[in-house]
């Protein structure tokens, strides 16, 4: 049970969010209405996705105050909580890519490490900027045209239609194509949250003394470049690409990892 504590908590929040969104349409609940693009919490508080908002602004359309306020609230929230907490605690695609990743490990598809020369983890930042440029040129929020995140979410709320194929495509890409391909390499929304949360308060802390270098954490981590300090130094994972998913804490048998508050005192190393 201890080994899946955060995993279960994450699945709980993800399913809870989708249930609330679903109920808003199906039963008229006024708890969480809308979609990730723009929502209303408790019938009053506006919420909006910062990257989506930015895309609409780039088309040249002056957005309503509700969306701008909503985007500010969400930005502030993840600025404090941990930027990519959205990715691992809210986003429904995370369940799809986690499943693909788990299957990859079970099927031992990663035995021969493949070097994807054209697909680096930095690609998502390029795509993020490109999405804004395309939004301006074409006059439509460009990522929203093909975003599997909102396609999946709207699919659950309003019905999938042919949109399910996008979700299946992401699953196949992550399973047989690139490891952590979508969330870790391509998703511009994740890139935006990486930047928003790069200075966030809640962080995973590593205790070098307790670590036995089993490297379990690096195996499960979807962004394992952020775990460069494992068995080297006792510092926090400060990289914005960390999704605060807590899988590393779950699998650690030595209590060498835990959530904590980011320390703003400069580390005394070196």
Partner 1 sequence: MAKSSDNNRRKFIATTLQSVGLTALGGLLWSGYSDEVKASPLVLRPPGALPEEDFLKACIKCGLCAEACVNRDSNRNRDGSKRPGTLKMAKGGDHKMIGTPYFKPVDKRKPTWLERASGKYPDDVLQIDEGVPCYMCDDIPCVPVCPSGALDIASVTNEKGELDINMARMGLAVVHKESCIAFWGIQCDACYRACPLLDEAITLEYAKNERTGKHAFLLPVVHSDVCTGCGLCEKACVTEKPAIFVLPREYATGKAGDHYVKGWDKQDQNRVENAKAIHTRTERSEKEAADYLNMEMEY
Residues that bind partner 1 (CB under 8 A): 24-25, 27-28, 33-35, 37-40, 46, 48, 52-53, 56, 59-64, 66-67, 70, 118, 126-127, 130-131, 133-134, 137-142, 144-146, 150-151, 154-155, 157-166
Judged by CB, which is closer to partner 1: 82, or 131? Answer: 131
Judged by CB, which is closer to partner 1: 52, or 97? Answer: 52
Q: Positive or negative, the Cα torsion across 71, 73, 74, 75?
A: positive
Look up tokens 């602004």; give the residue: 57
Structure tokens at 60: 């040249």
Query: Please, are residues 56 and 62 in contact by the beta-carbon 8 Å criterion?
Result: no
CB of 163 to partner 1, least distance (A): 4
Q: Distance of CA 189 to CAs 8, 35, 54, 144, 161, Å? A: 24, 15, 11, 10, 23
CA nearest neighbour of 183 among 63, 109, 100: 100
Judged by CB, which is closer to partner 1: 82, or 184? Answer: 184
CB of 228 to partner 1, least distance (A): 23
Structure tokens at 97: 């890519």
Judged by CB, which is closer to partner 1: 16, or 137? Answer: 137
CB of 128 to partner 1, least distance (A): 11
Q: Positive or negative, the Cα torsion across 270, 202, 193, 121?
A: positive
Cα separation, 152 vs 86, in Å, equals 15
CB of 14 to partner 1, least distance (A): 19
CB of 139 to partner 1, least distance (A): 5
Q: Where are the beta strands (DSSP E) in 196-249?
A: 202-206
Judged by CB, which is closer to partner 1: 17, or 166? Answer: 166
Judged by CB, which is closer to partner 1: 46, or 184? Answer: 46
CB of 33 to partner 1, least distance (A): 6
Residue 1 pairs in a beta bridge with: none
Cα separation, 99 vs 246, in Å, equals 16
């Amino acid at each position: 049970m201890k080994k899946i504590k955060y995993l279960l908590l994450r699945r709980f929040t993800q399913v809870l969010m989708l249930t609330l969104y679903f109920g808003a349409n199906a039963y008229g609940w006024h708890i969480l209405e809308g979609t990730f693009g723009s929502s209303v919490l408790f019938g009053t508080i506006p919420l909006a996705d910062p990257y989506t908002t930015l895309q609409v602004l780039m088309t040249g359309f002056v957005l309503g105050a509700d969306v701008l306020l909503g985007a500010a609230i969400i930005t502030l929230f993840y600025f404090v909580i941990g930027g990519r907490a959205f990715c691992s605690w809210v986003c429904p695609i995370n369940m799809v890519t986690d499943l693909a990743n788990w299957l990859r490990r079970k099927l031992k598809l990663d035995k021969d490490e493949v070097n994807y020369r054209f697909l680096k983890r930095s690609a998502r930042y390029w795509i993020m900027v490109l999405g804004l440029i395309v939004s301006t040129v074409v006059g439509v929020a460009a990522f929203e045209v093909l975003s599997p995140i909102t396609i999946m979410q709207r699919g659950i709320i309003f019905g999938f239609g042919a949109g399910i194929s996008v979700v299946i495509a992401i699953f196949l890409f992550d399973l047989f194509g690139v490891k952590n391909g979508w969330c870790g390499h391509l998703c511009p929304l994740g890139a935006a949250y990486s930047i928003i949360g790069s200075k966030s308060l809640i962080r995973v802390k590593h205790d070098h003394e307790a670590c036995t270098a089993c490297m379990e954490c690096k195996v499960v981590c979807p962004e394992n470049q952020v775990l460069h300090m494992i068995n080297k130094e006792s510092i926090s994972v400060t990289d914005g690409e960390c999704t605060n998913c807590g899988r590393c804490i779950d699998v650690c048998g030595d209590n060498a990892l835990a959530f904590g508050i980011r320390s703003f005192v400069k580390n005394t190393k070196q």
